[in-house]
Amino acid sequence: MKESEEDIGYLSEMEEKRIIYTHANGDLDSFSSVWIMKRRHSLYENAKVVFVSADWDGEGMKEGDKALDIYAGGKGIKGRVDSENNVHSCFAVLVESYCSPEEQKALSSLVRFVDIQDSGHSAVFKLAQGLDHGAKEILAGTSISAILKGFKSLYPYNDKKVMKMMFKVLDGLFAMKMVDPPLSIEEGLKSTHIFSSGNVAIIEGDSRKKTLRKHLFSKGVKVVIYNTGKSIALFRNPGFPSINLDSKEVRQVLVKAGEEISLTGEKGKWFLHKNGFMLAWGTKKAPSEFSSKANAMDLAKAMDKTLSKN
């Protein structure tokens, strides 16, 4: 995706083009709405963006122009009202209208967040009702709404600059979901071996199966092992903090392979996280250049033996 100022459509001296109107002093809904219109509607990819007063009546709009998150004398696009009288965001309407099912799924969390935020509530405080106030403050202070407020503080009364910065944030969030989409539980289980004890599971191949790991943990599996070729990683179920991944049996497998464990992530050694929840050969932060000599299935059997004694 382009990142130039012209991509957001600010240069009025360019040839006449379609115009996207939205209200001044933009909020999360208006910026997200303009972003999705420009990113997912080919006719508006290079549209010029014009900021107007929220009570603008739409005067001067031409055929093909769009007014987002404002009424514009009845010409604009606002959020729909559902059967329970809940008002949804303009962003939700546009995602439903212009995005594929896969894209809608990738954006579903953001749509829900914007919907709640646009209804006058704090999305974080509403979604995290079971947390204490301090925890909510931490989440709220690091949310996408806080990022928007930060850009507004850096660039006061400069909607164009704030929009440009928010486009980068939204592009990143979208790319993250589309480049590395979560695999379905059913699909992931096809390449998963769960030991008869139910204590250990080993996942072969794709390393994206974090959702699968959570599913296995919820079913009582105590240790999940990933084997992607050059990388092997053992993860401990958070519900069993007393489990030692570097157990006697596991260490015996590593000694046989001529490999050692390090707490500092030394090259050519297994990394044991200081909090004990992960033991890994090669991680995303420190990819291994070569495979471990230890066999992932042998490690899984060793871990299962450890747990069977407890």
Let me know whether 33 and 94 are in one domain.
yes
pLDDT of 286: 83
Q: Do residue 189 and residue 256 come from a single domain?
A: yes
Residue-wise pLDDT for 50-64, tens only, equals 999 999 999 999 999
Number of folded domains that form the chain: 2
| pLDDT at site 10 | 43
The amino acid that residue 243 corresponds to is I
Q: Identify whether residues 150 and 282 lie together within a single domain.
A: no
pLDDT digits (tens, 9 = 90+) for 231-257: 999 999 999 999 999 999 999 999 999
Say whether both 133 and 266 belong to one domain: no
CA angle 156, 162, 164 (to 5 degrees): 150
Task: Give the list of residues 6+ apart from residue 56 with CB closer than 8 angstroms, or none.
Answer: 21, 23, 67, 70, 72, 73
- Where is the domain boundary, 159, 179, 199? 179
Same domain? 141 vs 196: no
- How many whole angstroms separate alpha carbon 297 and alpha carbon 294? 9
Task: Taking residues 217-231, report their average pLDDT.
Answer: 92
Position with higher pLDDT, 29 vs 127: 29
Q: For 249-269, what is the mean pLDDT?
A: 93
pLDDT at 275 over 70: yes
- Domain range spanning residue 145? 5-179
* The domain boundary residue, chosen from 179, 199, 226: 179
Q: Are strands 19-23 and 48-52 parallel, antiparallel or unpaired?
A: parallel
Residue 102 shares a structural domain with residue 49: yes
Looking at this protein, which amino acid is placed at residue 105?
K
Task: Provide mean pLDDT across the span 69-86.
Answer: 88
Share of the chain above pLDDT 70, in %: 91
What is the Cα–Cα distance from 81 to 66, expressed in whole angstroms? Answer: 20
Domain-ending residue, one of 128, 157, 179: 179
Q: What is the mean pLDDT of the chain?
A: 89
Is the pLDDT at 192 greater than 70? The verdict is: yes
Q: What is the dihedral of CA 142, 145, 149, 150, to 10 degrees?
A: 40
